[in-house]
Amino acid sequence: MGVLWIVIIILAIILFISFIIYNSLIRVRNKVKNAWSQIDVQLKKRYDLVPNLVDTVKGYVKHERQTLETITNMRTQAMQAKNPQEKIKANNKMSKAIGGLINVVVENYPDLKASQNFLMLQEELSGIENKIAYSRQYYNDSIMRYNNKIEMFPTNMFAKIFNFEKKDFLETEEKEKGPVKVSF
């Protein structure tokens, strides 16, 4: 009878540890999903601001229409991206175009620089860009914790059993790291 109790206690401990490990895997996977949703929220805010920026700038720079249309098209492409990597790639291009447009427009149109609407949009976009950068960093940190968890012993055994798969970091392509060039 004593051996049976020892076996039951050992099985209960193993089961308890299994629950803890499985729940920890779920917790880190959900943190990754949450981190991505935070990026998505900031990108949505940016998508909502782009038409306002374009409309504000249009009043001053009618001959830069092609650049404004390009930014609008980039916004559409970014919104239609199917996965995080595509979405980030499209948004990186849009960030460069918006940054370049703002810099060139401010230099060439001092009246626009003084426009209250433009200043508010510029400040809001700058804030969103900072939040996107922070959210990307948090996402990659969450991916690192998740990948560590599913690759390290003993959780790696449970990760394999329950089909937890390694996730990719958000990375910027080398060509996207260069300076922004906008010409009219």
Q: Which domain holds residue 95?
A: 2-177
Give domain status of residue 7, yes or no: yes
**Tokens 């089909």 sit at which residue?**
163
Please report, rounded to a whole number, the percentage of residues in the chain having pLDDT higher than 90. Answer: 33
Residue 167 in domain = yes
Helices (H), the chain: 2-58, 65-80, 84-108, 110-114, 116-151, 155-161
- The predicted structure's pLDDT at residue 20: 94
Residue 182 lies in a domain: no
Average pLDDT over residues 7-21: 93
pLDDT digits over 132-170, tens only? 889 889 999 999 999 999 999 999 999 999 999 999 888
* Residue 184 maps to a domain: no
Task: Output the pLDDT for position 176.
Answer: 46
Domain of 97: which CATH number? Answer: 1.20.1440.20
Going from the C-alpha of 85 to that of each of 10, 136, 152, 153, the distances in angstroms are 45, 11, 25, 29
Residue 9 falls within a domain, yes or no?
A: yes
Total number of domains in the chain:
1
Residue 145's pLDDT is: 95
Confidence tier at 181 by pLDDT (50, 70, 90)? very low
Q: Using a cut of 0.75, tell me whether the model's pTM lies above it.
A: no
d(C-alpha 146, C-alpha 117), whole Å: 42
Q: What is the mean pLDDT of residues 66-90?
A: 79
User: Does 183 fall in a domain?
Assistant: no
Q: pLDDT averaged over the chain?
A: 80
Q: Between vectors from CA 175 to CA 169 and to CA 177, what angle results, nearest 5°? A: 70
Task: Tell me whether residue 27 is in a domain.
Answer: yes
pLDDT tens profile 39-73: 888 888 888 877 777 776 666 665 566 667 777 78
